[in-house]
Structure 1
Amino acid sequence: MQSRSFLILIIAGGLISLVAMGSRAVFGLFLEPVSTDMGWGREIFGLALAIQNLVWGLSQPFAGMIADKYGSGKTLLVSGLVYSGGIFLMSQTSSQTELHLSAGLMVGLGLAGTGFGVVMGSVGRAVSEEKRSMALGIVGAAGSLGQFLMLPLGQAFLSSYGWSTALVLIAICTFIVIPASMGVRGKAEDSGASGAGSISEAIREAASSKSYWFLFAGFFVCGFHVTFLAVHLPSYLVDQGMAASYGAMALSIVGLFNVVGSLAAGYLGGKYTKKFLLSYLYFARAALFVCFIIVPMTPVTVVIFSGILGLLWLSTVPLTSGLVASLYGAKYMTTLFGFIFFGHQMGAFLGAWLGGVAYDMYGSYDVIWWLSVALGLISGLLHWPIKEDVPAGHTQAAR
């Protein structure tokens, strides 16, 4: 691929990831003000975001197939319109049903076509095996930079204008996806990338592989972790006596440090065995959660926790998507990663919803924190038996 075309693809894809993932990250800031203003328990808003993540996951494989067949640019264009429209309608909600249809169904559908899956599939097809992990890490880092930038912006909108107007302004920001989609092109049949001869063959090959299902289960845990924290961490910090601004600050720090984490994961994934890197990452998450639970809550511990969490946050994405391409070829990577991403979103549904259920039942998130620890340990173990071949010339040190 010509360097100029690749540069355009990386810039456009990175911008889409920045806006789409950054806007999605701000929703947790709205849990407490929307619930209070509407007289709802936290489960209702938590369920809306749980529906969003489940719809996102259910739709992602189909968005991937559409992008592989008809082109990434067209998929991003339509999905960007749905995403922006969903956030705008969310700002006008007056009932639980309207919230679940806008924040849940529409935003979930929009994210399926604008999130990591479609963009990373297009990038993954465009680069060689040697450069793919790093390229995917750059796109992942852009999504994290969006979280870092959009969270303080969202908090400023919320503080200055209230939740309804703040959501309208965020909807306007997401409209950037529309022009940026023109820079992300390509479909599977036009690609010279390796892989099965057809989408159906690629799906059958992956579905018959135990390694694919281990990846699916492991990514389920990632979804549970990040969505529980994205939705409920701001409210958890308020419950612990911290000012509301610390929630936005914490998630913003997570986004900033995950720029480093995603780039590091992309670099290391090109040199070491990806499955072991993923195992270590999930074990580290479990250890971090234990420390956060038992150490006294102070502004300093919140900052330290957020920074370390950021290094571990979405650094799973370039490693997992890169592993899919390594194992099954990059040609239909968008589709195959889409199905694994469904596992991620099943976990996300439970993380968002059960967090609200636990709080409404027990008045705290303690049970979900310890469940997150257990799931981190399980995911670390699940990646160990994946059959990954290290590319020729790469070091065996991670084995």
Structure 2
Amino acid sequence: MNLPRTSWRTPLLILVIGGLILTLSMGVRHTAGLFLQPMTMAHGWSRETFSFAIAIQNLVWGLASPFAGAFADRHGAGRTVFVAALLYALGLVLMAQASSPLAFDLSAGVLIGLGLSGTTFAVIMGVIGRHTTPERRSLALGIAGAGGSFGQFAVLPIGQALINAWGWQSALVLLACGVGLIAPLAYAMADGHKPAAGGGQSIGEALREAGTQKSFHYLFWGYFVCGFQTAFIMLHLPSFLVDGGLSANVGMTAVALIGLFNIFGSFFFGWAGGRGSKKNLLVAIYAIRGVAILIFMLLPLTTASAWGFAAVMGILWLGTVPLTNGLVAQIFGLRYLSMLAGIVFLGHQLGSFLGAWLGGRIFDETGSYSLAWTISIVLSVLAALCSWPVNEKPLLRPAGA
């Protein structure tokens, strides 16, 4: 297999730089829940107002990902990552200055969503996937996903410390400076991508082919559930714990623990996906998530139960990423990996939109998150059922197609 590369852009270097970009991008993104209470209190907004902007962010992130992925597939990822990093940093700065819900929607929602589309999974995983041999691809994607998890673990305490020391507005500007570091790293992602096997296939043909495959739709809707659960938990778990009488630091630590344990989870599921059935691992992840949420709801709310739940969810958190992206590459090939992975990721972000927004809406209407937790359990069952019939075999195409 011919792997596209230049003399110094080795697979190892691309994996390391890609993991570092995911660390910065995903780490800052996961601090959103820390700003919910201070920003709503400062502006007199409802939780739904804040949640809606983050929901827009997730939706824009998902809608833009296929286009960012297609551009990266055709022209290389360097330009995509560079421009997206600048948009991301600008969104954080304007988010600190937003004084109305509309300004908040445009900054925290639209600009940061566009920034995330070019600095996270669809684009970065596409580059890493193209530069990795098939037998090592799932593990490499798992290691890169662990970078995003490490960012969640490492950046959350920094974000909370910045809020405590300088206030939420200054904290957002300083986090924007951190995101700005992604821009120079984009040079390593400029992989000079050339069409690999199946290079004669057009974008339209690739889209039509994927649209006719039931497995592509199953992956899309399974990822939808993943997005709903992760967005709801990430944004609302800190407030849920504070509402239950625990401290803000307990909530911050719980979210950080998700990131810490997801380092091990992403690595494990990436490794296991290279040695066994990826779709069976997805079934297990979604099923165990539902059981974990149910047990968390039945147990008394304590620091120990919160941190135990965070640890279990962390192991399962982004294990879906190397498995889902690995299945897209395994079934459809590498030529349009970033674009097709971006389309499947759109399902994830549609779920994220609902998880972030609906959590706030349910709380404002009922004064409780109970219904949102129940929906998460039901969706776990549906995601497991969607993952089970996925056909993992590579598509057979006519010669020259």
User: Which bracket does the TM-score occupy, shorter chain normalised?
Assistant: over 0.9
The offset of 1:298, in angstroms, is 1.1
Q: 1:119 aligns with which of 124, 130, 145?
A: 124
Match of 1:351 among 348, 355, 368: 355
1:213 counterpart residue number: 217
Q: Secondary structure at the match of 1:12?
A: helix
Structure-2 separation of matches of 1:229 and 1:260: 19
Shift of 1:201: 1.6
- What does the per-residue CA deviation read over 1:131-165, in whole Å, with 9 as the maximum and x for residues that have no partner? 10011011100000000000000000111111101
Question: Is the Cα contact below 8 Å between 2:234 and 2:255 reproduced in 1?
Answer: yes
State TM-score, norm by structure 2. Answer: 0.95
C-alpha separation in 2, matches of 1:213 and 1:4 = 34
CA-to-partner distance for each residue in 1:104-149, whole Å, 9 max, x for gaps? 0000000000111100000111111111001101110000000000
Distance 2:43 2:166 in 1: 17
CA distance in 2, matches of 1:193, 1:56: 29
Rate the CA distance shift 1:92–1:288 in 2: closer, same or farther, 3 A: same
Contact 1:227/1:352, CA 8 A, preserved across alignment = yes
Match of 1:397 in 2: none
| Structure 2 residue corresponding to 1:324, chosen from 319, 323, 328 | 328
| Residue type at the aligned position of 1:123 | I
Per the alignment, in what secondary structure is the counterpart of residue 242 of structure 1?
Answer: coil
What is residue 384 of structure 2 aligned with on the other side?
A: 380
Deviates most, 1-10 or 362-371: 1-10
Which residue of 298, 317, 338 maps to 2:302?
298
- Deviations for 1:157-190, whole angstroms, at most 9, x for unmatched residues? 11111110110111011011101111112355x1
| Map of 1:48 onto structure 2 | 53
Task: Name the SS of the counterpart of 2:31 in structure 1.
Answer: helix
Quickly say closer, same or farther: Cα 1:264–1:331, change in 2 above 3 A: same
Aligned counterparts of 1:390 and 1:118: Cα–Cα separation in 2:
22
Deviation at 1:194, TM superposition (A): 4.9
Report the residue type matching 1:21 in the other structure. Answer: M
Contact 2:331 2:394 in 1 (8 A): no
Name the structure 2 match of 1:236.
Answer: 240
TM-score (norm 1): 0.96
Q: What root-mean-square deviation, in Å, do the aligned CA atoms of Structure 1 and Structure 2 show? A: 1.4
For 2:152, which of 135, 138, 147 is the aligned residue?
147
1:125 and 1:191 in contact (8 A); partners too = no
Which residue does the alignment assign to 2:399? none
Question: CA offsets, 1:305-357, max 9 Å, x none?
Answer: 11111000011000000000000001211000000000100000000000000
2:251 pairs, out of 235, 247, 251, with 247
Match of residue 111 from structure 2: 106
How far apart in 1 are the matches of 2:50 and 2:170? 18
Q: 1:62 aligns with which of 63, 67, 81?
A: 67
The list of structure 1 runs, each at least 4 consecutive aligned residues, that deviate by more than 2 angstroms after superposition, is 1-4, 185-188, 191-196
Give the partner amino acid of 1:49. Answer: I
1:207-245, Cα deviation, whole Å (9 max, x unpaired):
110110000000000000000011101100000000011
Query: C-alpha separation between the residues in 2 aligned to 1:390 and 1:384?
Result: 17
Shift of 1:389: 2.9
Tell me if structure 1 keeps the 8 A contact 2:330–2:394. Answer: no
Q: Do the aligned residues in 2 keep the contact of 1:17 with 1:142 (CA within 8 Å)?
A: yes
User: Are the aligned partners of 1:196 and 1:331 in contact in 2 as well (CA < 8 Å)?
Assistant: no
Distance 2:229 2:197 in 1: 33
C-alpha contact 1:261 1:315 (8 A) present in aligned 2? yes
**Secondary structure in 2 matching 1:284:** helix
Give the aligned partner of residue 30 of structure 1. 35
The 8 Å contact of residues 332 and 394 in structure 2, kept in 1 or not, is answered as: no
> CA deviation digits over 1:33-69, x for unaligned, max 9?
1001100110000000000000101100000111111
Q: What are the Cα deviations for residues 75-122 of structure 1, in whole angstroms up to 9, with x where unaligned?
A: 000000000110110011111111000000000000000111100000
Number of residue equivalences: 390
Q: Is the 8 A contact 2:9 2:188 kept in 1?
A: no
- C-alpha distance in structure 2 between counterparts of 1:194 and 1:304, whole Å: 46
Residue 339 of structure 1 corresponds to 343
- 1:56 and 1:187 map into 2 onto residues whose CA distance is 24
Counterpart amino acid of 2:147? A
Residues 214/288 of structure 1: CA separation in 2 closer, same or farther (3 Å cut): same
Give ranges in structure 1 of 5+ residues lacking alignment: 392-399
Q: For 1:139 and 1:196, how far apart are their aligned partners in 2?
A: 29
Query: CA contact under 8 A between 2:9 and 2:191: conserved in structure 1?
Result: no
Q: Are the structure 2 counterparts of residues 390 and 82 from structure 1 closer, same or farther at C-alpha, using a change threshold of 3 Å?
A: closer
Aligned match of 1:362: 366
2: CA distance, partners of 1:374 / 1:272:
27
- Conserved 8 A contact 1:91-1:168: yes
Match of 2:174 in 1: 169
Q: Is the 8 A contact 2:224 2:351 kept in 1?
A: yes
Tell me which residue corresponds to 1:396. Answer: none
1:286 and 2:290 equivalent? yes
1:297 aligns to what SS in structure 2?
coil
Aligned residues of 1:226 and 1:313 also touching (Cα < 8 A): yes
Cα distance in structure 2, aligned partners of 1:109 and 1:141: 22
* Percentage identity across paired residues of the two chains: 46
Name the counterpart of 2:398: none
State the partner residue of 2:261: 257
Measure the CA separation in 1 of the matches of 2:127 and 2:11. 10
Q: 2:39, 2:168 within 8 Å by CA — same for their partners in 1?
A: yes
Contact 1:60/1:339 (8 A) holds in 2: yes
Using the TM superposition, name which of 2-11 and 171-180 deviates more: 2-11
| 1:345 match: secondary structure | helix
Aligned match of 1:394: none
